[in-house]
Amino acid sequence: MPSPSRAELRRLQLVNSLFASLTGNDLYLAQQIKEAIRFRLADLAEEAAKGDARDALAYDQAFNAAAADLLARLFRDRPRHGFYHWDASLGVAASTPLFTRAEIIQGLRHLAGFRESTLLITNLRAALIPPGRRTTPRRQRDYEDSLAFIRELAATRVARSSSLHLLLL
């Protein structure tokens, strides 16, 4: 059996992290979920397997979106667990500090009534450090500052009696 690629291991780790409450950190179950998502995106998976970097990036983004959608469906069935997803790459200025703050506060307001909740943020790195572009020290610093800002904002805006799971993908 050939060893899995780095991208496949990253996807498996993503699924295992996102669905830990469902899988109990069982990699076999995480692999089954990953394969179900891959089956759903079979056309993109075939294009990505051919080796083109753009197709691989499109597949990664589609895989992340499908995993986020599946996670949202899982939490919809749990009325006591809040869920909010922000895709930072959706708008032109979505990843600027002003829009980041507005989105995070909107998400935290949505989650305020729940004792346990999950805030999922996807594509922040891709929005601040575009794929195929050089990772400059300034872009890296902006990304790290955004991460710190999001963590600090979430920590200060969540009630002590509630539990917030902050997932940054």
Residue 118 has pLDDT above 80, yes or no: yes
Q: Which of 168, 72, 70 lies closest to 127 in space, CA to CA?
A: 168
CA distances from 22 to 35, 39, 46, 116, 153 (A): 16, 20, 28, 15, 28
Report the percentage of the chain scoring pLDDT > 70.
Answer: 91
Average pLDDT over the chain, rounded to an integer: 83
CA-nearest of 156, 86, 75 to 123 is: 86
78-87 residue pLDDT tens: 778 888 988 8
Spatial separation of the C-alpha atoms in residues 71 and 23, rounded to whole Å: 12
Given a cut of 70, whether residue 2 has pLDDT beyond it is no
Give per-residue pLDDT as tens, 50-62.
766 677 777 888 8
What is the per-residue pLDDT across 9-54, written as a single tens digit (0 to 9) for each? 888 888 888 887 778 878 888 889 889 888 888 887 777 667 666 7
CA distance 86 to 140: 21
Can you read off the two tokens belonging to residue 89? 């790459």
What is the pLDDT confidence band of residue 93, given thresholds at 50, 70 and 90? low
